Amino acid sequence: MDQTYSTTFTPDRERGQHLNFEDRCSIKIFIKLGYSLRKTAEAINCSASTVMYELRRGTGKRNGNRGRNPEYSPKRGQLNYEINRSRCHKPHTLKQHSKFLQWVVKQVKEYHWSFDACVGYARLHKLFSDEEIVCTKTLYNELWAGNLPLVPHDLPEALSRKSKKNNARRNKRVLGRSIDERPEIANIKEEYGHWEIDTVVGHKAGHESVVLTLVEKKSDYYIALKIPGKDAASVMAAMETLREEYGETKFSEIFKTITADNGNEFERLSELEAWGVKIYFAHPYSSWERAQNERHNRIFRRYLPKGVSIERYTAEQILWFADEMNELPRKHLGYRTPTELFDEFLDQVYSIAKVQVT
């Protein structure tokens, strides 16, 4: 039976990949069998020049005129390859003591900014030269390599990447108009005045204060209010406070729609429709339908960790936490802050009112 060289052929490899140790052993075998460079290259699926350079790399120099000519060694070739690979990486572009890096570390530690917010804001406002500012990916690479005076826990968004689910359960009551009826303008974020609402709790057990949170979908503006409990009366009292703050005549222009889950604390929320606000409820167990509010609540947890009693914080502290979040530049906002955009929106609403009065 003809089985010529049947044990010397290696499995198929993808062209363009670096040679591994098994490929180098095959090269040695083929060369000893008298294969040419081109035929050897065809056998292991690479170019003839790759084989030629590998033979040079793995063949030692001859010392003197005596003895045999040195042969190709797969071990020598592998060792030289690994040495060359260790030297081929690009040098770090981040200077450890640069003013930009010092500023980034301060923004992350003191103001809880993300790397992307730092890079985008610095470029938008030309805080540093273009040569000194590095990209977001470089900062994350340096973080994971341990080359920054930061740890991953300083950037919670780097540690949590949750996938969305699509298995909405519908075995729970719906308190009002379904999110399916919400106008498309609220989904595409091209108009101000569309909000999502939720509550943030401290201790799950017992009756204590919670935080009522709302986020405006276009500007990402975040409102956080400490309320006495996770009940409908407390939520309605907080909404009354907001109505007084923004004005009864303009409340429905600022709060055009509000989307909530089906928690008991929102069972009276549909009463706000008497004020001109459209109320919608997400499907049961479908938190991803209020993704903006969920994402902002995770950021809020930097200030108020899970399991910590909200009774430890004053109403003023809760407001301050929200204000600091609203000062974070956002990439999708062109590195502007939610406060800037929401203030512009309020200026438009109230300027129209002044024109109508005059």
pLDDT at 68 (0 to 100): 76
- What is the full DSSP assignment across 112-155? ---HHHHHHHHHHTT-S-TTT---HHHHHHHHHTT-SS--GGG-
* Chain centre to alpha carbon of residue 17: 31
| CA–CA separation, 235 and 199 (whole Å) | 9
Co-location of 255 and 329 in the same domain: yes
pLDDT at 203 (0 to 100): 79
Long-range residue pairs from 312-316, CB within 8 A, at least 24 positions apart, any chain: 312/202, 313/226, 314/226, 315/225, 315/226
DSSP state of 335: T
Co-location of 153 and 84 in the same domain: no
Co-location of 289 and 337 in the same domain: yes
Domain housing 52: 1-62+69-89
| CA–CA separation, 192 and 250 (whole Å) | 13
Query: For residue 119, is it within any domain?
Result: yes
Query: For residue 174, is it within any domain?
Result: no
Co-location of 353 and 232 in the same domain: yes
Co-location of 195 and 324 in the same domain: yes
Query: For residue 19, is it within any domain?
Result: yes
Query: For residue 193, is it within any domain?
Result: yes
Co-location of 306 and 185 in the same domain: yes
Query: For residue 169, is it within any domain?
Result: no
Co-location of 203 and 347 in the same domain: yes
Supply φ then ψ for residue 164, to 5 degrees.
Answer: -80, 150
Co-location of 82 and 225 in the same domain: no
Q: What burial letters (b/e) apply to 221-248, b meaning 16+ CB within 10 Å?
A: bbbbbbbeebbbebbbebbeeebeebee
Q: Which residue do the tokens 């706000």 mark?
A: 272
- Tell me the CA distances in angstroms from 277 to 259, 271, 293, one per residue in order: 11, 9, 18
CATH number, position 204: 3.30.420.10
Q: What burial letters (b/e) apply to 109-134, b meaning 16+ CB within 10 Å?
A: eeebbbbbbbbbbbeeeeebeeebbb
Co-location of 31 and 85 in the same domain: yes
pLDDT at 160 (0 to 100): 58
Query: For residue 166, is it within any domain?
Result: no
DSSP state of 191: S
Co-location of 133 and 268 in the same domain: no
Query: For residue 40, is it within any domain?
Result: yes
**SS3 assignment, position 260:** strand
Query: For residue 297, is it within any domain?
Result: yes
pLDDT at 85 (0 to 100): 84
pTM score: 0.61
Co-location of 186 and 148 in the same domain: no
The structural domain count of the chain equals 3
Q: Which residues of the chain have pLDDT under 70?
A: 1-13, 64, 67, 89-97, 156-175, 205-206, 352-358
Supply φ then ψ for residue 46, to 5 degrees.
Answer: -145, 180
First to last CA, the chain: 105
| CA–CA separation, 277 and 323 (whole Å) | 25
Bridge partners (DSSP) of residue 353 are none
Co-location of 144 and 243 in the same domain: no
